[in-house]
Amino acid sequence: MRISEIAAAAGTTPRAVRHYHRLGLLPEPVRPDNGYRDYGMAELTRLMRIRWLAGNGLPLGAVAAVFANEHGASDTEDLRADLAALHEEITQRITQLTRKQEGVARMLAAVDAGRRLTALPDEVADAFDRAREHADEAERAALDQERDMLEMFSLSGDTPAEMFTWFTRALDDPAARTDYRRLLRGWERLHGRPVAQSAELIEQLAQDIAGQLRRLDFAGVAAATANIPHDGLSLSEDTLVPDPAQRQAVRRAMQLLTDTSGEPS
């Protein structure tokens, strides 16, 4: 067989065959008097084995180790380490691709259903949409900010299902909806106000936040969200609540939740 014939038989190109010659992976056959390489069954088998090993992801250096090992010139442990590392890399890539496939399938389903593309679970996104339909302009602005915050949590790490469940209940529970809308209005009233001149509004909003969290059992959510990894993204207080007066109300609400002496009598 000429080089073009052996390349075609192995499903590769003459250029690749010459490359394998240069690397020492495929010994060159003896040239007869006519000067052309004359490949036989042994070279074809070797070439097909190179293609098989490389096709399974082995770097050509590891392919060389496979052949050397067969002749007792290489340490089996080195070859095993290469194969174990390759296996782990492929496993990680499969996990990443599976996650991407599931995400794209969810996006496709959302587009087919005429839904907005979002990282939030469908039930949470639907709850925000329902709440927005019955909200006034100020409440809608607060709802949009809250939705953005929750989506940022969802995008930045492994946010537990308990947090999404809590928000869905807060938005859908008839008993909680009125209090929640009052909380949203108080939140918007604080926006842009100087902290030093807003002590009464800050305290009232903090009491409303703390009361809402207690009624909907936020303690379980807080426990579930402790030590959430965020893939290196820093979600500071300034990022989550950029308005100083609103941020002070959140801090005060957390104080009320952790200090029973701060509860109203």
Could you read off the pLDDT of 24-79 as tens digits, one per residue? 999 988 877 777 788 999 999 999 999 999 999 998 988 888 888 776 655 677 78
* Phi and psi torsions of 157, nearest 5°: 180, -165
Determine the pLDDT at residue 225.
Answer: 46
Residues 183-191 have a mean pLDDT of 85
CA distances to 202, 218, 223, 240 from 139, in Å? 17, 22, 29, 18
φ/ψ (deg, to 5) at 75: -80, 125
Residue 62 tokens, joined: 């590891």
Of how many residues is the chain composed?
265
Amino acid 234: pLDDT:
45
Confidence (pLDDT) at 82: 83
The pLDDT assigned to 265 comes to 35
Q: What is the pLDDT of residue 97?
A: 95
- d(CA 114, CA 105) in angstroms, rounded, equals 14
In the prediction, which pLDDT does 187 show?
85
Tell whether the model's pLDDT for residue 81 goes beyond 60.
Answer: yes
In three-state secondary structure terms, 254 is: helix
Position 253 scores a pLDDT of 85
176-221-189 Cα angle (round to 5)? 50
What gap in Å lies between CA 76 and CA 203, rounded to an integer?
70
pTM of structure: 0.54
* pLDDT tens-digit readout, 14-23: 999 999 999 9
Per-residue confidence (pLDDT) for residue 145, from 0 to 100: 81
pLDDT at residue 143 in the model:
84
> Residue 180's pLDDT is what?
75
Tens digits of residue pLDDT in 217-250: 655 555 544 444 444 334 456 666 788 998 898 8
Q: Give one DSSP letter per residue of 170-239, joined into a string.
A: HHH-HHHHHHHHHHHHHHHHHTT--GGG-HHHHHHHHHHHHHHHHHTTHHHHHHHHTT---TT----HHH
**CA gap 4, 2 in Å, rounded:** 5
Q: Of 83-92, 111-120, 178-187, 245-254, give the lowest mean pLDDT range.
A: 178-187
Q: What is the pLDDT of residue 23?
A: 93
State residue 53's pLDDT score: 93
What is the structure's pLDDT at 16? 95
- The predicted-structure confidence for 121-166, as pLDDT tens digits, reads as follows 888 888 888 888 878 887 788 788 888 878 877 887 666 677 788 7
